[in-house]
Amino acid sequence: MPVKAIICDFGGVLTSPLMDAFVAFQDETGITFEQLGAAMVRGQEQLGAHPLFELECGRISEEAFLDLLRDTFEADLGHRPELHRFAETYMDALHPNEEMIELMREISSRHRMALLTNNVREWEPLWRAKLPVDEIFETVVDSAFVGMRKPDPEIYELTLSRLRDGGGIEPGECLFVDDTLVNCEAARELGWLAVHHTDNAASIPEIRSHLGD
């Protein structure tokens, strides 16, 4: 069954690796990745749900998320860190993956194209400024605006339904590209093809192979 639609992730696929952003956060704040993870666990105990997941689903605001982190860091670290540059620090560390962007631009002339991202509502202007989103992708599904996130099956089904508005597409005709393995596994469970992106050298030939290039 030939591929008709490409559904691509944003961070870590069309940009440099997401770990670069966490390293930048650590460098700016002195808060380690492990301490950030511990704060998320404590925040989940307070909130009753994972704070990052709630943020990415648009159920809490960025400021509420940062206030929760400040509270947990104060309890864990003994001081209340200033996190007002959280978004800028994160996004400034992510650079366009020009080789992958050019591939997506090339194949957009002969395939249906969707961008599927777990993101933050308040960050939309920042991440959209990184690449020509609307030139390449006919639809964008942003978790923060639809109240669901990868790897929830519903967000994949929503993306496919939006692509189907322009013509019939079956799950087996979808190729999904993401840097998170669990997200790729969720796509495969729905009958999609998936490429787990690790680097361009591996992913680009795999994508082209699926497309018959």
Residue 1 pLDDT exceeds 90: no
Average pLDDT score over residue span 174-188: 99
For residue range 160-170, list pLDDT tens digits in order: 999 987 668 99
For residue range 28-76, list pLDDT tens digits in order: 999 898 999 999 999 999 999 999 999 999 999 999 999 999 998 887 7
* Cα gap 41→95, rounded to integer Å: 29
For residue range 125-152, list pLDDT tens digits in order: 999 999 999 999 999 999 999 999 999 9
Residue 158 pLDDT exceeds 70: yes
- The whole-number pLDDT of residue 77 equals 77
Read off the pTM. Answer: 0.95
Domain extents in the chain: 5-17+95-211, 19-91
Decide: 13 and 197 in contact? Cβ < 8 Å: yes
For residue range 3-12, list pLDDT tens digits in order: 999 999 999 9
CA distances from 39 to 22, 68, 75, 123 (A): 14, 9, 9, 21
E runs forming strands in the chain: 5-8, 112-117, 139-142, 174-178, 193-196
- The whole-number pLDDT of residue 166 equals 60
- The whole-number pLDDT of residue 213 equals 75
**For the structural domain made of 5-17+95-211, what CATH number should be given?**
3.40.50.1000
Average pLDDT over the chain reads: 95
